[in-house]
Structure 1
């Protein structure tokens, strides 16, 4: 018979995480996502949100969600393949495909389930998948669900990628999988070089644009558009929960890819479709993106200002070249302490530690948005400097 000691071993592991600076309980926030948010009665400058363009509070997106509830109700009532594909879902996918410049797009419940569903469907014993070592956890987990032969290449190391393709020598269908923007370091994949190697060796290219959708490319069309590689990237996946400001994921590409995933992707097949309000909000956001280049330009201007100021002060921001700006600290306990002291100073920037990053590569990951003002960012730099000097990160 179970007792209250049944899970003592779990508590022991949690205590270890606490000792090593890897334990955290999610903060509970009052009000909507924005540049300043409140938790525990304190108003903090928010530097950990993925709300790149401030779309979560956009009136047009909110109005679309409300109207969809009136028209369709609160839920879809079924999975997509039974009665859960409503007009608003179909409209969203058509608009998303047109925006991405692909034949078709399929929407999933989240970016994570998109990678799980797409990779598990496309990769089998006859395939070789070659993945960048710093790809997102959803890619890693998606690959683990397959029986494909697996290879990893060092981060953005094109020589190592080519060696792996040479070793395959056409023996198996090869898929090269990469993030468009790497979420922990804020750097951009060398997509043109990847595409050239793929074409040289007859491989498929699969790009996860979770942090590139709404950020890179004309009007936020993503990394394929950023590098003008339309028609040369076979699978584009991404989220609808970061710059788009709602929730969900998508896979965009050829029409045959969409039809295949409808029949094979288990998260799509066995999950109830998005509530109509979510689909309508995503649709409104995609339409807004078509006219949002000035907002995206402001995002990039803010990111450049913030990164430059941090580097001038002596912080190590790694290879950041996007609105993701990590401040490298080191070991988990030191990183957790830095983040805690920063919060005391009025800035919320989450510490990212092992196993998300290497044990000695803990960082406070700062994410700049278009909703931040220059005064907001200058305030953040001042507080980062104060904590940096207090902790010895800065001399």
Structure 2
């Protein structure tokens, strides 16, 4: 197995080596994290609404843990499908204004499981080139043809659809908000193409659920397009501050997944405490609109501060703010310098992002104050000058 050492050395030489670093949260301060002895402003978390330490969520999780135990003990199709699961899925369907919902263990299992269940050999999946890896892997697992279109390039997608008119089933999959760029998919245009070519449409709202829509339903609802989307996917590990994922759609879709989706069938059900936490988080997401208002204000402030400093950042209005630096080594040095200044902001490198687009991926939260964001922007500006990312 010596070949692994050789490959790892090559990765290190290209500044692509990765390692696990121990971190811990700061009780009562969800906007911070600790590495070693250093307390850092956490600008790499997906805890967009700041719910991960909400007292009400922690309390219901504690009660479920004490009354129902640490684990579910079985898959959902045996004895792991507790009444709380049923109630949560009813609430999710009502929230999304869909006929039915289904909870998965996490977003990777939901995306990979659903795609590989809906299509197979003889079918084709049209996927934006910046879609999350879980979608890409789902296409691989399905054995369907993978027709990848250039990011948000609808003319390229149309060409691919034209070339695959005769395929048995056609599925278009897209993130609503792209996880590394923070920009939006062109959902209205995707829906038009879906209808024109008789395709199914699946939208991943992992990074938009909780942030958009009147009750945090997501970008599809914000734009009034929810009824034209066949498969809605979202997660509970970001805006909800907990763990898990959901699929919403027709009753027929959910019945099909229950019978065919291998990641659901062959996985142990989520612990009762997690289900309880999700259910409480759903109530807070729907009712506490001030969190959405705050994160959007924070996003506009931080984006404007970086732009005014002369940085090249990705377009969009989401709390994902990518600062493009280009080469891998500079991104790593930038991230280390930020950490020395008390800011946790991770360098993102290929293959997570395309070659030559290494970046610092800032990810904001509703619990970040204007003072903290201004401080972070000033420190980022100074480091940019030091590293030559910005011109004096």
Q: TM-score range by the shorter chain?
A: over 0.9
Mapped pair 1:354 → 2:340:
no
Aligned to 1:298: 294
Mapped pair 1:365 → 2:352:
no
Provide the C-alpha distance between the structure 2 equivalents of 1:23 and 1:383, rounded to a whole number of angstroms.
26
Aligned to 1:379: 375
Could you tell me whether the CA contact under 8 Å between 2:335 and 2:344 is conserved in 1? yes
Between 182-191 and 286-295, report the one with greater CA deviation.
286-295
Aligned to 2:4: 10
Mapped pair 1:196 → 2:196:
no
Mapped pair 1:233 → 2:229:
yes
Residue 308 of structure 1, CA deviation: 0.6
Among 249, 256, 276, the residue aligned to 2:252: 256
Alpha-carbon RMSD across the aligned residues, in angstroms, is 1.3
Aligned to 1:342: 338
Mapped pair 1:50 → 2:46:
yes
Provide the C-alpha distance between the structure 2 equivalents of 1:18 and 1:196, rounded to a whole number of angstroms.
45
SS in 2 for 1:89: helix
Mapped pair 1:208 → 2:234:
no
Residue 168 of structure 1, CA deviation: 2.4
Between 119-128 and 323-332, report the one with greater CA deviation.
119-128
Mapped pair 1:20 → 2:43:
no
Residue 215 of structure 1, CA deviation: 1.3
Could you tell me whether the CA contact under 8 Å between 1:111 and 1:249 is conserved in 2? yes
Matches within 5 A, 1:256-295: 256-295=252-291
Aligned to 2:127: 131
Provide the C-alpha distance between the structure 1 equivalents of 2:261 and 2:168, rounded to a whole number of angstroms.
22
Provide the C-alpha distance between the structure 1 equivalents of 2:352 and 2:25, rounded to a whole number of angstroms.
28
Aligned to 2:239: 243
SS in 1 for 2:103: strand
Among 115, 132, 143, the residue aligned to 1:147: 143
Q: Any gaps of 5 or more consecutive residues in structure 2?
A: none
SS in 1 for 2:120: coil
Residue 73 of structure 1, CA deviation: 1.5
Q: Given the two structures, how large is their TM-score scaled by the length of structure 2? A: 0.97
Aligned residues: 389
Matches within 5 A, 1:75-154: 75-154=71-150
Provide the C-alpha distance between the structure 2 equivalents of 1:171 and 1:131, rounded to a whole number of angstroms.
15
Mapped pair 1:35 → 2:46:
no
Q: Any gaps of 5 or more consecutive residues in structure 1?
A: 1-6
Aligned to 2:389: 393
Aligned to 1:3: none
Could you tell me whether the CA contact under 8 Å between 1:170 and 1:202 is conserved in 2? no
Residue 336 of structure 1, CA deviation: 0.8
Residue 320 of structure 1, CA deviation: 3.3
SS in 2 for 1:95: helix
Could you tell me whether the CA contact under 8 Å between 1:170 and 1:201 is conserved in 2? no
Between 190-199 and 165-174, report the one with greater CA deviation.
165-174
SS in 2 for 1:82: coil
SS in 1 for 2:108: helix
Between 300-309 and 148-157, report the one with greater CA deviation.
148-157
Provide the C-alpha distance between the structure 1 equivalents of 2:350 and 2:163, rounded to a whole number of angstroms.
32
SS in 1 for 2:152: coil
Residue 345 of structure 1, CA deviation: 1.4
Provide the C-alpha distance between the structure 2 equivalents of 1:272 and 1:138, rounded to a whole number of angstroms.
20
Aligned to 2:307: 311
SS in 1 for 2:215: helix
Provide the C-alpha distance between the structure 1 equivalents of 2:380 and 2:291, rounded to a whole number of angstroms.
26
Deviations 1:81-124 (A, max 9, x none): 00000011111111111111111111111000101110110011
Provide the C-alpha distance between the structure 1 equivalents of 2:124 and 2:13, rounded to a whole number of angstroms.
40
Aligned to 1:168: 164
SS in 2 for 1:135: coil
